Amino acid sequence: MTSTSEHRPSSVIETIDREERGERLSKEEIVRLLEISSPAETERLYAAADVVRKRCVGDDVFLRGIVEFSNHCRQNCLYCGLRRDNTALVRYRMSDDEILASAYEIRKAGIGTIVLQSGEDPYYDRARLCGLIARIREKIGLVITLSVGERNYEDYRAFREAGADRYLLKHETSSQLLYERIRPGCRLEERLLCLTALRELNYEVGSGVMVGIPGQDIDVLADDIILLEETGIDMLGIGPFIPHPQTPFRDLACGSVELTLKVLAVARIVTRSTNIPATTALRTLDKDARTMALQAGANVIMPDLTPLEYGLFYDIYPGRAKSEVTDMVTLFTILRNDLQGIGRTIGSGAGHRRSSPH
């Protein structure tokens, strides 16, 4: 007679060991890892993710300086404070010269990458953005990540030819139903086609998920991780949902920090060599979460270096942990101290994904 134990799911440790031997985890196993609830097993999961992180991407923590250059957005996502129906928000656009000045500051601080981020703002059309990319590339020499939403293929190609290296386009959820509910008028299929186009154009491609979206469950989160792996995403942004008072989701609860960290840890174990930031949203909910994320698989920090007079209005969710900086020297001192405490160092260079063609 077969004993019950033979039918019991393998332990967390066995599951992780199998992954370490190069065996792919099934969806059932990913679900099981996400469902871990005992503190000891949770710690084991984080420790395993940390081992995979160390082996696949090393101890360096790469910095990406974010400049949020426009908070105008034509979309109306139900969870986001930049949604077009939020008429309470003061809107702004930074001039090219202001963006360049921020890029110089980032360069001066020794950060190798600028992330140019905005809502979906048609004002920055192909020609305008290409001009900006080319100027930053030629005059300042930073690696350029774009995070400007969905564009057409010719735009992506032009941005790439102008000098953009990376593109962030979070899909937030792999569930078509949820996606189309939280992003009215948008289609998941189109989002995924954009990610395919970006890969074809040889960008390093970033995407990611939001943990705690209403209607999401562990099954959907497992599908999210599988989708990130199967589409060969290079950078994964995994952050908790935080309700914004000027959105239809204002009365909902925040996503769980612990579940977000578990998703991050499992994503590290499954995707191995990807770049994974310790997101600002995590630190907004728990000031220690950045360190926790770095010890559960993360290897990137993205300080928000938007000039304060604008950054205050990049109000995607409330209480955003503004960079603890008033100046770069202070930023570096704080980061260095934090990282030293957990045996990590600030990485130099671009911090491209190791296995990427770059």
Q: List interacting residues with ligand SF4 (CB under 6 A).
A: 73, 75, 77, 80, 82-83, 119-120, 149, 316
Distance, first Cα to last Cα, the chain: 55
Nearest-angstrom CA–CA distance, 331 and 353 = 24
CB-wise, 62 or 179, nearer to ligand SF4? 179
CB of 128 to ligand SF4, least distance (A): 18
Q: Tokens for 67, please give them.
A: 């400049």
CB of 77 to ligand SF4, least distance (A): 3
Is 169 in contact with 191 (CB distance < 8 Å)?
yes
CB of 152 to ligand SF4, least distance (A): 16
Residue 134: partners with Cβ closer than 8 Å, 6 or more residues away: 162, 163
CB-wise, 68 or 234, nearer to ligand SF4? 68
Is 148 in contact with 132 (CB distance < 8 Å)?
no
CB-wise, 9 or 184, nearer to ligand SF4? 184
CB of 316 to ligand SF4, least distance (A): 6
Q: Which residue has the tokens 């202070």?
A: 330
**Beta strand ranges found along the chain (DSSP E):** 60-70, 113-118, 143-147, 166-168, 204-211, 235-240, 300-301, 345-346
CB-wise, 112 or 243, nearer to ligand SF4? 243
Residues 195, 237, 218, 320: is their CA dihedral positive or negative? negative
Q: Cα 274–280–283 angle (5° rounding)?
A: 110
CB of 148 to ligand SF4, least distance (A): 9
CB of 75 to ligand SF4, least distance (A): 4
Question: CA distances (Å), 208 to each of 142, 148, 227, in order?
Answer: 23, 15, 10
3-state class percentages of the chain: helix first, strand second, coil last, to nearest 5: 45, 15, 45
CB of 308 to ligand SF4, least distance (A): 20
DSSP symbol at 172: B
CB-wise, 71 or 271, nearer to ligand SF4? 71
CB-wise, 16 or 316, nearer to ligand SF4? 316
CB of 78 to ligand SF4, least distance (A): 9
CB-wise, 66 or 73, nearer to ligand SF4? 73
Question: CA distances (Å), 94 to each of 104, 123, 182, in order?
Answer: 15, 11, 28
CB-wise, 18 or 93, nearer to ligand SF4? 93
